[in-house]
Structure 1
Amino acid sequence: MKIFLIGIGQGGGKIADLFLEYDRRTRHNCITRAIAINTARSDLLGLKNIPMEDRILIGESIVKGHGVGADNELGARVAAEDIYTIQSAIDQRGTHEIDAFLIVAGLGGGTGSGGAPVIARRLKKLYVEPVYGLGILPARDEGGLYSLNAARSLMTFVKEVDNLFLFDNEPWKKEGESLEDAYAFMNEEIVRRFGILFGAGESNEVGQVVVDAAEIINTLRGGGISTVGYAVEEVSKKKKGGLFKRVKRDKSSLETLDATTKITSLTRRAVMGRLTLSCDISSAERGLIVVAGPPEELSRKGIEKAKLWVEEMIRGTEVRGGDYPVPKSDYVAAVTVFSGVTDVPRIKELQELAVNAQKTIQEFDSKKEEKHESLWRDDIKPLF
C-alpha cells in the first residue's frame, strides 16, 4: 500500500522519521513521500532521515519557531492559518501514486494535537484517497493537561479521518526507564507494526493469499477507531549439506502442519497480547490479518484457520487476511487489525482524567486573580 506520510508535532515527526528509515532499510517501499510539520524549529532540525526540504515550519509569524507550548488550541489555529502552505507542500511532492494519506501525531502536546485534525479535514476535502490518522495517547503520569489535550483532540480527529489508529503509551512504559528510552522503544514498536501492515502488497514476491491496498481500505472503511496487534517468532535454521544436500524432496505433512500451527499460534498471540489500544475486540466491526516472513514459512491453510478464529472472536464474518512474503527474513510475524472498536475502557478513563483536569484548571483560574489581589495593600496609590 502506497502511503503519503505526514508527521506533525514533535512526536509525529519523530515517528514519521523513524518510519521512513524503517521503510528504506526493510525495502517495504510503502512510503512514497514523508514530510514533517512543526511549529518548533529545533524539533525539525533534530530529525535524521526526512530530507531538509521535506521539513516544514509553520506558525513562524506567531510563535517565531519556538513551538506552541502544549497549547493545542493555538496549534489548531496555526495549522488553520498556514493550511495553504501545508497543502502546497503536499501538492508539490506529488500524490498521483498513493493509495492513502497517514497523519501521525502525539495527541497530548500542542502542535500535533491541534494541527492533525485541521490537516485531515483539508485533505479529505481535496482528495479522493482515504485519510488515516495515527494518534499517540499520553500515559497517565504525563499529567492532566496532556490528558485534556488528548481527549479534546481525539474527539475532533476521529471525525476528520476515514479511520483513526491509536497507540496508548500507558501499557508500554517500563518502570525505571528514562523518558527518552521509553519513547524510543514505543516508537520502534509502532513502526514495526505499521511497516508490515502498509508494506503488504508491495512485495515483489507472489504470496499464496494476497493482501493489497483494497483489502486494507475495505477493512478500515466506516470510520471509527482501530487497534493493532503483533507477534513475531524467529525462524529455525535448518543445516544444509551432507548426504542429503543433493536430494530434492517435498515437504512432509508434518512440516506443513508445523507451518499452519505456527501461523495460527502467532495470530493468537498477536490478538491476545498487547494491542496498540487495549479494548474488547469482540466490539470490532472488521478484522484483518497479515502474516509476513520467508515464503517457505507461509501457509494458506494457516491463514485461513487464523481468519476463522478471528471471525469467532469478533462475532462477525468480515475478516480479511493474507501473507506478505519477505525472502531471506529470519522471522515470521503476524499483524492483526481490529477496525471500528467501540468497547474501549481506556478512552472513557482518558475522558474522566480530562474532565478532572479541566475542572482543576477552571478552579485555579477563578482563584488566581483573588490571590494576586491579596498581595497588594489598598492604601498605596498605583502609578496609573
Structure 2
Amino acid sequence: MRLLTIGIGKKGASISDMLHAKGARVNKVNLFKTYAVCGESSQLGSLKLPADNRFLAWQDDPEAARSILTAIFSKHEFYEAFMIVSHIDDEYGFDLTVKIGEELMSLSDDPVINLLLIPPLDTISDYHELRKRLKIISNSSKFVLLFEEKDGYQEMILNSLNMLSLVGEIDLKKKIAGEVVVDTSDVFNSFMKGLSAIGYAEEPVNRSFLERVSFLRRFAKKEDHAKKTEKMVNIMKKAINDNLSARCDISSAKTALLLFGGDPEDITMDGMFTSLQMIDKVVSGVELRYGDYPVPHSKYLKAMVLFSGMSGLKF
C-alpha cells in the first residue's frame, strides 16, 4: 500500500521524516512518499527529507494548502491513499491539517487518512475541546487513526504502519504468498468513519534444532503446531490488551483487520482462526478481515489488529 504522507507541524514532520528513513521498502522502493510542512525554517532544517519535499507555509496564508498540494502533485508519484500526520494540540498543525484535508477531499477520490497524535488521555483536562477537535478533523478527512503520545509511540507508529503498508505488496525476490492473502482494498474497506486505533505486538521466535535445519523440519514434533498456534493467540492478546495505539472503546468497533507477519513456518491457520474467534467475543458482530504477510527466516512473529468505526475514547 503506497501512502502519500504529509507531516504537518513539528511532530507531524518528525513522523514523516522517520518514515522517509525507515519506512517499509519493496523492490527497493519506499512505500511512503513523504513530505513535511512547518511554520518555522528551523524545524524543516532538522529533517533529512529532500529539500524539495519540505515546505515552509504560513498558518494564515489562504493559498498555502493548494500551493503545497500543487507542488506535490507535480512530482507525479504513484500512491493509493493520502496520510496526513499532525498533533491535535498544535494550533499550526491542526489548522493546516483541516485545510489540506479539505483540499485533498475536493481534488481526489483517493482515501484521506489522518494519523492524529493526541496527548495521553489521563493528562487531558478539557475533554470537550478534544471531542470538538476530533469532530472537525473527522469532517476534513475520510478516516482518523489515533495514537496517544505514550512511551515508545514513535516506534509503534513505524512498526504498525510498516506492517500495514506491506499488505498487498509483492516482493519480486521472495516470490512467496501468505496463507491468506490480503490486498490494499481490504485495508481501505476495514477503515470506517469514526475513530480507528491499532493494536500491535511482536515477540522473538526461538527455534528448536530440528526447526533450524530445513531438511529436518518434517521430523519436528506435532506438538510444535499447537505451540505455534498458542504463541500467535498470545501475541494477538498482547496487541489488544496491552498495546493499543489509543484507548478507544473497541466494543463499539464496526470493523477489524487482523494481520500476522513472520516466517511462514510460524504462522498457522488455527492460530489465525482462534484469534478471530477471540476478537469476535470481545467485539460482538464486528466485520472481520484477516491475513498474513510472510517474511522467510524472520526472527520475530508480529501481530497487528486495526479497529475502526469506533464511537468514543475510554477516559
* TM-score normalised by length of structure 2: 0.89
Shift in alpha-carbon separation, 1:315–1:250, aligned structure 2, 3 A? same
Distance in 2 separating the partners of 1:207 and 1:92: 36
Distance in 1 separating the partners of 2:186 and 2:24: 24
How many residues end up aligned between the 2 structures?
A: 311
> Which residue is equivalent to 2:157?
190
The within-5 A match list for 1:285-304 is 285-304=254-273
- Which of the residues 88, 95, 106 maps onto 2:70? 88
> Which residue is equivalent to 1:160?
140
> Which residue is equivalent to 1:46?
46
Shift in alpha-carbon separation, 1:264–1:140, aligned structure 2, 3 A? closer
Q: Deviations over 1:216-253 (max 9, x none)?
A: 100103x11101111111011334799x8865626543
Q: Deviations over 1:281-309 (max 9, x none)?
A: 11111101111111211122211221122
Shift in alpha-carbon separation, 1:247–1:287, aligned structure 2, 3 A? closer
**Residue 206 of structure 2 corresponds to residue 226 of structure 1:** no
Shift in alpha-carbon separation, 1:7–1:245, aligned structure 2, 3 A? closer
> Which residue is equivalent to 1:282?
251
Q: Deviations over 1:301-343 (max 9, x none)?
A: 2112211221221111411111011223211110111101114
1:12 CA drift (Å): 0.4
Distance in 1 separating the partners of 2:45 and 2:128: 28
- Which of the residues 202, 206, 217 maps onto 1:236? 206
Amino acid at match of 2:46: G
Contact 2:121–2:148 under 8 Å retained in 1: no
Contact 2:146–2:245 under 8 Å retained in 1: yes
The within-5 A match list for 1:302-381 is 302-346=271-315
More helix by share: 1
Shift in alpha-carbon separation, 1:127–1:240, aligned structure 2, 3 A? same
SS at match of 2:10: helix
Amino acid at match of 2:145: F
**Residue 169 of structure 2 corresponds to residue 213 of structure 1:** no
- Which of the residues 106, 121, 126 maps onto 1:125? 106
SS at match of 1:276: coil
> Which residue is equivalent to 1:379?
none
Task: Give unmatched runs, 5+ long, in structure 1.
Answer: 60-74, 174-184, 347-384
Contact 2:7–2:15 under 8 Å retained in 1: yes
SS at match of 2:273: helix
RMSD of the TM alignment (CA)? 2.7
Contact 1:235–1:330 under 8 Å retained in 2: yes
Amino acid at match of 2:76: G
More strand by share: 2
Shift in alpha-carbon separation, 1:214–1:167, aligned structure 2, 3 A? same
Shift in alpha-carbon separation, 1:342–1:28, aligned structure 2, 3 A? farther
Q: Which one has the largest radius of gyration?
A: 1
1:27 CA drift (Å): 7.4
Amino acid at match of 1:51: P
Amino acid at match of 2:270: K
1:81 CA drift (Å): 2.6
Contact 1:113–1:149 under 8 Å retained in 2: no
Shift in alpha-carbon separation, 1:30–1:320, aligned structure 2, 3 A? farther
- Of all paired residues, the percent bearing the same amino acid is 28
1:167 CA drift (Å): 0.9
Distance in 1 separating the partners of 2:94 and 2:128: 11
**Residue 224 of structure 2 corresponds to residue 255 of structure 1:** yes
Distance in 1 separating the partners of 2:128 and 2:286: 37
SS at match of 1:323: strand
Amino acid at match of 1:322: G
Contact 1:232–1:332 under 8 Å retained in 2: yes
> Which residue is equivalent to 1:200?
167
Distance in 2 separating the partners of 1:337 and 1:123: 24
Shift in alpha-carbon separation, 1:293–1:29, aligned structure 2, 3 A? farther
SS at match of 2:74: helix
Contact 2:6–2:85 under 8 Å retained in 1: yes
Amino acid at match of 1:328: H
The within-5 A match list for 1:55-204 is 55-59=54-58, 75=59, 77-78=60-61, 80-95=62-77, 97-139=78-120, 151-169=131-149, 172-173=150-151, 185-204=152-171
Distance in 2 separating the partners of 1:213 and 1:140: 31
User: Which of 23-32 and 295-304 deviates more?
Assistant: 23-32
Q: Deviations over 1:111-148 (max 9, x none)?
A: 21111111111111111111100000124798879x88
Distance in 2 separating the partners of 1:295 and 1:33: 29
Q: Deviations over 1:319-375 (max 9, x none)?
A: 1111011223211110111101114133xxxxxxxxxxxxxxxxxxxxxxxxxxxxx
Distance in 2 separating the partners of 1:196 and 1:265: 19
Amino acid at match of 2:55: I
Distance in 1 separating the partners of 2:122 and 2:232: 37
